[in-house]
């Protein structure tokens, strides 16, 4: 393994010149530059980034905290993050936390011990259960919720849920159910707000029976369907807003298994617009979050922060789209 000294020797220049030739070529004469490059070629020099980063007090690495990498939505956000980070010469360390606080802490240590320069958190901020914000830790939240006390890029969750519910109302549905995430989850709270607002505007009293708690997994969506199936048909919602696509897919499975036709007897709207949703049977009407864009925006924010720059805004809201497909149809009493 050759080092900068070997290159200097072969090139007949000082190590300082070699160093400059690599990190600030414009400050070196063409002649020296050529000598250095030839020498690098000759001794097969590969700079030791471990040494370089150490010296520069920068890891050129960030860590991303993901509740579950196998979730397509999260994976897509991470792709966006990774794309801009790699363009800027930064590596992305994967922190699949599996919803465990201990793992979050473990990964955060990478930042405290300088192995990473900052962190992007994909779990929404949760008062009383959040390891961020933290002094001396540069962090950005991606795809989070309202009132996140550190820089954040997200969509208007309440607005999106309201849009979807409004749409169901416009189709003539009067009893509209909702499948939520865990009740304390901020996404649940924000989206429930929009859902309730919509019903209220329409003069409909929302009913406790219409709310089924899930946990953002297909399995829990299927479970939630059971809840609605148990309600007598005359009182049962005729349409449901699911707070993500996974649960919507699970719920469809549940309803079909019970002989309830989707969408004829039960309209369903999802949230996120993951890739499989358009291939679901029926194709899912859903709120499309710009997952990759969210990731990119979060990455750019974090880079600015790492470079010590100011942020133009610290609650960056991206537009969502409402995508109508086949899982939602007019009410047919």
Residue 39, interface with DNA (CB under 7 A)?
A: no
Residue 198, interface with a second copy (CB under 8 A)?
A: no
**Interaction partner, residue 313 (a second copy, DNA, none; CB < 5-8 Å by kind):** none
Residue 46, interface with a second copy (CB under 8 A)?
A: yes
- 18/169 with CB nearer DNA: 18
* Stretch 7-26: interaction string toward DNA, x if CB under 7 A: -----xxxxxx-xx-xx---
φ/ψ (deg, to 5) at 42: -65, -45
# of chain residues touching a second copy (CB under 8 A): 48
Residue 110, interface with a second copy (CB under 8 A)?
A: yes
* Residue 25 C-beta: closest distance to DNA, Å: 9
* Stretch 223-262: interaction string toward a second copy, x if CB under 8 A: --------------------------xx-xx--x------
* Residue 8 C-beta: closest distance to DNA, Å: 7
Considering only 30, 57, 233, 312, the residue that binds a second copy (CB under 8 A) is 57
* Stretch 62-101: interaction string toward a second copy, x if CB under 8 A: -xx----xx-x--xx-xx--xx--x----xxxx-x-----
Angle at 109 between CA 315 and CA 78, to 5 degrees: 50
**Interaction partner, residue 17 (a second copy, DNA, none; CB < 5-8 Å by kind):** DNA
Residue 61, interface with DNA (CB under 7 A)?
A: no
Alpha carbons 290 and 294: distance in angstroms, whole number: 6
Residue 32, interface with DNA (CB under 7 A)?
A: yes
* Residue 61 C-beta: closest distance to DNA, Å: 16
Alpha carbons 4 and 192: distance in angstroms, whole number: 60
Going from the C-alpha of 195 to that of each of 9, 200, 244, the distances in angstroms are 71, 9, 14
Residue 48, interface with DNA (CB under 7 A)?
A: yes
Residues making contact with DNA (CB under 7 A)? 1, 3-5, 12-17, 19-20, 22-23, 27-29, 31-32, 47-48, 51-52, 54-57
Q: Which residues of this chain interact with a second copy, rule CB under 8 A?
A: 46-51, 53-54, 57, 59, 61, 63-64, 69-70, 72, 75-76, 78-79, 82-83, 86, 91-94, 96, 103, 106-107, 110, 112-115, 218, 222, 249-250, 252-253, 256, 275-276, 279-281
């Amino acid at each position: 393994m050759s080092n900068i000294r070997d290159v200097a020797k072969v090139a007949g220049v000082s190590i300082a010149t070699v160093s400059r030739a690599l990190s600030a070529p414009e400050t070196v004469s063409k002649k020296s530059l050529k000598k250095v490059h030839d020498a690098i070629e000759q001794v097969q020099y590969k700079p030791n980034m471990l040494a370089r980063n150490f010296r520069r007090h920068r890891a050129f690495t960030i860590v991303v905290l993901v509740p579950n990498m196998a979730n397509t939505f999260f994976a897509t956000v991470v792709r966006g993050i990774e794309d801009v980070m790699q363009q800027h010469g930064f590596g992305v360390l994967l922190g699949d936390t599996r919803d465990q606080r201990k793992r979050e802490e473990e990964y955060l240590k990478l930042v405290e011990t300088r192995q990473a320069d900052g962190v992007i958190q994909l779990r929404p901020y949760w008062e009383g259960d959040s390891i961020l914000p933290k002094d001396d830790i540069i962090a950005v939240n991606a795809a989070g919720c309202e009132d996140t006390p550190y820089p954040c890029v997200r969509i208007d969750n309440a607005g999106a849920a309201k849009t979807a519910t409004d749409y169901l109302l416009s189709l003539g549905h009067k009893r509209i159910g909702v499948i939520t995430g865990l009740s304390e989850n901020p996404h649940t709270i924000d989206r429930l707000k929009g859902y309730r607002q919509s019903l209220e505007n329409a003069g409909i009293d929302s009913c406790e029976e219409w709310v089924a708690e899930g946990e953002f997994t297909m399995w829990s969506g299927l479970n939630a369907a059971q809840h609605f199936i148990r309600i007598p048909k005359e009182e049962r919602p005729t349409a449901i807003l699911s707070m993500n696509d996974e649960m919507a897919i699970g719920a469809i499975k549940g309803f079909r298994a019970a002989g309830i036709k989707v969408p004829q007897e039960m309209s369903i709207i999802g949230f996120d617009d993951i890739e499989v949703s358009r291939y679901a049977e029926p194709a899912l009407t859903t709120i499309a979050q710009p997952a990759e864009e969210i990731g990119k925006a979060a990455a750019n924010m974090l880079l600015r922060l790492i470079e010590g720059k100011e942020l133009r805004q610290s609650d960056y809201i991206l537009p969502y789209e409402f995508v109508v497909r086949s899982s939602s149809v007019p009410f047919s009493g």
